Amino acid sequence: MAQMKQYFLTLPIVAVIALAVSCKKKDDTTPDFDKGSLLTNVADNIIIPAIADFDSDLDQLLANYTAFQANQDQTHLDAMRTSWVAAYMSWQTVQLFDFGPMTTNNLSLQIGTFPSDTALILNNISSGSYDLSASGNEVACGLSSLDFLFYRSSALNDLQSNANYQTYVGDVIQKLKAESSQLKTEWTSYRSTFVASTGTESTSAFSLLVNEFNRHMELAKNAKLGIPLGKQSLGIQLPEYIETRYSGISLDILKESIIRMHQLYNGNAYLNSATGAGFDDYLVYLEKTDLSNTINSKYSEIFTKIDSFSGTLEEEMATNTAELNVLYNLIAGQIINIKTDMTSAFGVLITYQDNDGD
């Protein structure tokens, strides 16, 4: 299980799309689209508030862990679970910005790797000797590890009776909190670099933002849905690769991830309904309003389909594969809209590896 890491963020990349179409030139009297305003909106109203929210959620998780140590009962375990879910949800926004401080500190791998290696987790607990920052332990110490530690059938008894188990949970939470605090601090200084980098070269902030937006749509299709569904294993389902399998919130996580990508596309603020400059505005400027509308419409179709499921992803895989395939294809169609059409219109090269497999 350890070889499929960080919701497949470490999968090898295969193709770089060579774009022949650059941003459409307006006449000389038309001002260029202000990508600086777009980046400023994304930084100030999406990225920084999302990181702060994630950090706050981990504060609450740590506080609930401390409270559990004093009162080791189901009520306090449930409180830890609730704050963990909140942190996992806010992570769905933070993970979209895997560049700058996130990349420098390898935080996506450390925080977001799934599925966890449960055998390694139990071995670490049994030995009582481990270095969670060591290479290889990223599959045993991220948010996904708490899905296993909090929701396995013996979780409450293990937390009550096994000192090593309880200590390990605390160490994981402390590590997550340290990483979120570091990210929050470093983005404060990185912000000015980000908002000023408006070019389309592969190292520019704008290009990195567009690439990450595309990459996470593909991760939603493949890592969060397609691989468990058997899309890369000749139709053989792989439930062991389901994100948050133990808590059963996989479809909620998938929806939250795509909601946050949709909000980024439209420049919608993380904390409220305020709307600023987004990718949609750039497409309208480029006289591609039809494409912008198609992308928004396709997102609505995806949300409607996700909402049609009443069970967990694992339950739906067992009984409703056909409709999950419909959802998979809807997401795949949206990827064509944004990866081929939108990205080409922006004059941005896709520079990440995508190991689509189909």
Contact 13, 353 (CB under 8 A): yes
Q: What is the pLDDT of residue 63?
A: 98
Q: Is residue 7 part of a domain?
A: no
Burial of 191 (0-12, 13-18, 19+ CB in 10 A): middle
Q: What is the pLDDT of residue 28?
A: 54
What's the whole-model pTM score? Answer: 0.91
Q: Looking at the predicted structure, is the pLDDT value of residue 257 above 60?
A: yes
Question: What pLDDT band is residue 27 in, cutting at 50, 70 and 90?
Answer: low
Mean pLDDT, residues 61-83: 98
> Residue 30 is part of a domain; what is its CATH number?
1.20.1420.20
Number of residues assigned to the chain: 358
Q: Is residue 175 part of a domain?
A: yes
Q: Looking at the predicted structure, is the pLDDT value of residue 236 above 60?
A: yes
Q: What is the pLDDT of residue 353?
A: 79
Q: Is residue 357 part of a domain?
A: no
Q: Which domain holds residue 148?
A: 13-346
Q: What is the pLDDT of residue 15?
A: 38
Q: Is residue 117 part of a domain?
A: yes
Q: What is the pLDDT of residue 26?
A: 53
Number of domains in the chain: 1
Q: Looking at the predicted structure, is the pLDDT value of residue 319 above 80?
A: yes
Contact 96, 220 (CB under 8 A): no
Q: What is the pLDDT of residue 30?
A: 66
Contact 90, 50 (CB under 8 A): yes
> Does an H or E element contain 198, and which?
none
Q: Is residue 2 part of a domain?
A: no
Q: What is the pLDDT of residue 18?
A: 37
Q: What percent of the chain has pLDDT over 70?
A: 90
Span of 16-20, 37-41, 46-50 with lowest mean pLDDT = 16-20
**Which residue matches tokens 């895997």?**
98
Q: Is residue 353 part of a domain?
A: no
The answer for residues whose C-beta is within 8 angstroms of residue 87's C-beta and 6 or more apart is 54, 57, 58, 60, 61, 143, 176
Q: Is residue 97 part of a domain?
A: yes
Mean pLDDT, residues 128-132: 97
Span of 14-23, 25-34, 348-357 with lowest mean pLDDT = 14-23
Burial of 23 (0-12, 13-18, 19+ CB in 10 A): middle
Q: Is residue 178 part of a domain?
A: yes
Q: Looking at the predicted structure, is the pLDDT value of residue 229 above 70?
A: yes
Q: What is the pLDDT of residue 29?
A: 57
The answer for residues whose C-beta is within 8 angstroms of residue 173's C-beta and 6 or more apart is 58, 61, 62, 65, 146
Q: What percent of the chain has pLDDT over 90?
A: 88
Q: What is the pLDDT of residue 14?
A: 36
